[in-house]
């Protein structure tokens, strides 16, 4: 009978097969993010644009769900929590469905650029194509909801109201709200990469994006679906929307690239040895450290012996 032991009974040491942990290491998450970034940069501009268009439309579910609740319960202070509960819907659809969302791409291709020290031009191509497609998709959603009359008037009005609230604030406030929002969304992408099962991914997406809405942070694409609805409804000017979009997009990019991509790159790569040592036994690493220390001691002793 196999009792989990490897080897014969006459061996001096019996080794036991230990179960592999289901929790990924930071190095394994990093390696997965690099592979995802490489896969995304291989895609054609047409494929990226169509996927980005789908993501822009899908993100409209974030505003639509919130507006539907707002139309039912009203705009009381205590009702805002109910509105926030459906904010993650668009993110779940887009992220689980693997559509191209601009703020997710402040992680994967950036990690690849940091890892390979190239592909910057290709990353800028991906950013430009996906961002434009996302905004166009958000505009198509707004046209469908506001101009085509796809929803009742009270829901359309609530959607415009949410858009009006979204663009409020100074440029500096919107920028820093975008930094925090970009940090949370890119961090969500990192955590989803670490998750093995779809249900875990959905839970992570829901919890992280709920915080974005509950804290009143800025997201350039989710907010665009609401803000463009307000523009088409005549509640917000096009100029106000463009200023908000610039502040939110810049903040999202800074938050995702610097706070998530650079920090996670740094924590994994570190001195440049972490990835090399990830697959080695701890005993071997400790033995190398002891040998290196002994070598330093011997060199110091030789220097002292040569002194007059």
Q: Which two tokens stand for residue 204?
A: 């992570």
Residues 209 and 63 in one domain: yes
Residues of the domain holding 305: 278-308
Burial class (CB in 10 A: 0-12, 13-18, 19+), 113: buried
Is residue 208 included in any domain, yes or no?
yes
Q: What's the pLDDT score for residue 278?
A: 60
Residues 64 and 88 in one domain: yes
CATH of the domain at 198: 1.20.1080.10
pLDDT tens figures, 74-93 = 766 677 888 899 999 999 99
Q: What's the pLDDT score for residue 297?
A: 78
Residues 124 and 229 in one domain: yes
Q: What's the pLDDT score for residue 139?
A: 98
Q: What's the pLDDT score for residue 121?
A: 95
Residues 173 and 305 in one domain: no
Residues 164 and 93 in one domain: yes
Burial 276-304 (b: 16+ CB within 10 A, else e): eeeeeeeeeeeeeeeeeeeeeeeeeeeee
Residues 162 and 295 in one domain: no
Count: domains in the chain: 2
The segments of the chain whose pLDDT lies below 50 read 1-19
Residues 293 and 270 in one domain: no
Look at the alpha carbons of 188, 189, 193, 198 in this order and tell me if their dihedral is positive or negative: positive
Is residue 300 included in any domain, yes or no?
yes
Residues 169 and 131 in one domain: yes
Mention every residue, 6+ apart, whose C-beta is less than 8 A from residue 57.
Answer: 137, 138, 140, 141
Q: What's the pLDDT score for residue 8?
A: 44
Residues 87 and 140 in one domain: yes
Residues 90 and 107 in one domain: yes
Residues 296 and 244 in one domain: no
Residues 199 and 120 in one domain: yes
Is residue 16 included in any domain, yes or no?
no
Report the predicted TM-score, pTM, of the whole model to 2 decimal places: 0.82
């Amino acid at each position: 009978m196999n009792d989990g032991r490897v080897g014969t009974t006459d061996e001096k040491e019996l080794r036991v097969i230990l179960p592999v942990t289901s929790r990924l290491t930071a190095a394994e998450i990093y390696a997965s993010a690099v592979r995802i970034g490489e896969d995304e940069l291989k895609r054609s501009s047409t494929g990226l644009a169509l996927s980005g268009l789908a993501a822009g439309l899908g993100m409209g579910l974030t505003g639509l769900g919130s507006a539907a609740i707002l139309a039912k319960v009203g705009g009381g202070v205590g009702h805002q929590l109910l509105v926030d509960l459906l904010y993650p819907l668009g993110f779940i659809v887009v992220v689980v469905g693997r559509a191209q969302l601009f703020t997710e791409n402040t992680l994967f291709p950036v990690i690849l650029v940091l890892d390979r020290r190239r592909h910057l031009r290709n990353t800028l191509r991906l950013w430009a194509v996906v961002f434009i497609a996302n905004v166009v998709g958000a505009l198509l959603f707004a046209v469908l909801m506001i101009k085509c009359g796809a929803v009742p008037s009270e829901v359309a009005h609530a959607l415009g109201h949410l858009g009006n609230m979204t663009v409020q604030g100074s440029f500096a406030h919107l920028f820093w709200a975008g930094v925090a929002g970009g940090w949370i969304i890119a961090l969500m992408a990192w955590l989803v990469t670490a998750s093995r099962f779809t249900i875990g991914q959905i839970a992570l997406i829901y919890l992280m994006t709920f915080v974005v809405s509950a804290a009143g942070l800025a997201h350039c694409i989710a907010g665009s679906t609401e803000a463009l609805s307000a523009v088409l409804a005549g509640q917000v000017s096009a100029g106000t929307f463009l200023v908000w979009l610039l502040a939110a997009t810049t903040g999202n990019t800074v938050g995702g690239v610097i706070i998530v991509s650079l920090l996670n790159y740094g924590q994994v790569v570190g001195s440049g040895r972490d990835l090399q040592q990830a697959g080695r036994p701890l005993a071997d690493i400790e033995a190398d450290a002891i040998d290196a220390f002994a070598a330093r001691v011997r060199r110091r002793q030789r220097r002292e012996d040569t002194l007059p």
